[in-house]
Amino acid sequence: MRALNWLWRGLLFFILFAFALNNQHVVELKWLLGYSWQAPMVFVVLGVFALGCVTGVLAMLPSWWRHRREARNRQLLLPEPVSKQAAPTPFDSGPTTRSGPPTLPAELPFPPDMPAPRKPAK
């Protein structure tokens, strides 16, 4: 599978390289107010591609920041880990000697904000 992946990458590189070699002629970009700019077509295509990548990343930033903020808030809401010697397991049926409010175990089988997974129907 790894060799197939590298073969695909090599094929893509050679196709793009052949495209660049076949489009070496100079193009003229005409801007507003009579300004014009001449450059090889390869550089124009590369510049437009880079501009599209930058625009996509900038469009993604607000959503990314919101997700980071929500993840940080969830991390702050997690209970503090309890030492294994002092805390009984949730499956102990014996008497407990702890006092105070009950706490969640350090590791849950599923996230607390999601429902428990259901067993598949037979």
Q: With a cut of 60, say whether residue 99 has pLDDT above it.
A: yes
Q: What is the pLDDT of residues 11-24, one digit of tens each?
A: 999 998 888 888 88
Q: With a cut of 60, say whether residue 117 has pLDDT above it.
A: yes
Please state, as a whole number, how many other Cβ atoms lie within 10 Å of the Cβ of residue 43: 12
Q: How many CA atoms lie within 13 A of 96 on its CB side?
A: 14
Please state, in angstroms and rounded to a whole number, the distance separating the CA atoms of residues 45 and 19: 11
Q: Write the DSSP symbol of residue 82.
A: P
Percent of the chain with pLDDT over 90: 33
The pLDDT of residue 104: 63
The torsion angles phi and psi of 72, rounded to 5 degrees, stand at -65, -40
Q: What is the pLDDT of residues 43-53, one digit of tens each?
A: 888 899 999 99
Nearest to 112 by CA among 88, 89, 78, 84: 78
Instruction: Report the range of poorest mean pLDDT among 62-66, 96-100, 101-105.
Output: 96-100
